[in-house]
């Protein structure tokens, strides 16, 4: 693999005729950033803590653990720099984790971003996330949708047909978490609400540029929760993950050290 470096800018993949967006990397002050184009960050990693969640929206998305602390089956659409995949691999040792990423150039950077190798409980598949979801009827406990290319969110990953397939792919109490960032956010939220009804919660992370949508297939997992109280729990979860350096491995699946138990009362 050839590498070109100029003032912190790396190109670590070579152009081809696949038509896929070509990612590149910018490294500065111990932070590695993945881009498809400058000004639009795809992923960030601290070199001294590769599995730390740097971007606010990723911490918000991982707050699905407030709803389901021990998911058996977790599927992610979109790999990027693997921030959430690495975090889940570390903190959820008993979850089966599958990542569907359509762009082979992105997957080729997995070693650079310290993404774990495939094993019995973790795998990265080079395939269309929409196609994967369409054949996973009733199998997924938590579905995380964070797929973007150089032009933003592909229409195949935000259509009504796609969200219908996501609903069908979830178990009876399954949860979908979607990252939205673009002019079509309101349209996409309306599509999700059409399918999931009132079992939808929209959260704006601290940076304000993304919207994270939590959508339940069964009874809303925040049922009976005062909206302000629940949002405080999300903020506390975000704060703890931003500054936490503790390992989450424990004697049983998941960990009680991911957050203060008082935040769950």
Largest alpha-carbon pair distance within the chain?
Answer: 55
Task: Report the predicted TM-score, pTM, of the whole model to 2 decimal places.
Answer: 0.84
Return the minimum-mean-pLDDT range out of 76-80, 109-113, 257-261.
257-261
pLDDT the model gives residue 128:
96
Sign for the pseudo-dihedral over CA of 97, 103, 104, 108: negative
Read off the pLDDT of residues 159-207 as tens digits, 9 standing for 90 and up: 999 999 999 999 999 999 999 988 889 999 999 999 999 899 998 887 6
Asked if 169 contacts 138 with a C-beta cutoff of 8 angstroms, the reply is yes
Q: What are phi and psi of 230, to 5 degrees?
A: -65, -40
Read off the pLDDT of residues 212-254 as tens digits, 9 standing for 90 and up: 999 999 877 666 666 567 777 877 887 777 766 444 433 345 4
- Residues serving a catalytic function are 146
> Could you tell me what percent of the chain has a pLDDT over 70?
80
Rounded to the nearest integer, the mean pLDDT of the chain is 83
Bigger pLDDT: 87 or 34? 87
- CA dihedral of residues 129, 133, 136, 137 (deg, nearest 10): 180
> Domains (ranges, CATH) in the chain?
4-46 (no CATH), 56-243 (3.40.50.150)
Beta carbons within 10 angstroms of residue 132's beta carbon: 19
- Counting beta carbons within 10 angstroms of the beta carbon of residue 38, is it exposed (0 to 12), middle (13 to 18) or buried (19 or more)? exposed
Residue 95 has what DSSP assignment?
S
């Amino acid at each position: 693999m050839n590498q070109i470096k100029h003032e912190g800018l790396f190109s670590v993949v070579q152009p081809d005729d696949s038509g896929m967006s070509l990612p590149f990397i910018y490294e500065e002050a111990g932070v590695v950033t993945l881009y498809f184009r400058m000004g639009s960050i795809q992923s960030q990693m601290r070199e001294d803590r590769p599995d730390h969640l740097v971007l606010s929206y990723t911490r918000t998305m991982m707050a699905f653990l407030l709803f389901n602390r021990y998911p058996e089956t977790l599927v992610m659409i979109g790999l990027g720099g693997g921030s959430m995949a690495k975090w889940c691999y570390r903190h959820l040792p008993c979850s089966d984790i599958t990542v569907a990423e359509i762009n082979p150039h992105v997957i080729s950077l997995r070693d650079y971003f310290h993404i774990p190798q495939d094993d019995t409980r973790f795998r990265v598949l080079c395939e269309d996330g929409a196609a994967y979801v369409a054949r996973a009827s009733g199998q997924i406990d938590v579905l995380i949708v964070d797929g973007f290319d150089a032009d933003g969110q592909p229409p195949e990953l935000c259509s009504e047909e796609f969200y219908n397939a996501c609903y069908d792919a979830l178990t009876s109490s399954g949860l979908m978490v979607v990252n939205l960032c673009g002019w079509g956010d309101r349209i996409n939220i309306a599509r999700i609400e059409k399918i999931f009804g009132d079992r939808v919660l929209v959260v704006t992370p601290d940076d304000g540029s993304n919207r994270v949508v939590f959508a339940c297939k069964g009874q809303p997992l925040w049922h009976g929760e005062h909206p302000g109280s629940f949002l405080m729990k999300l903020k506390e979860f975000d704060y703890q993950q931003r500054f936490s350096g503790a390992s989450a491995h424990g004697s049983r699946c998941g960990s009680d050290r991911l957050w203060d138990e008082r935040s769950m009362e």
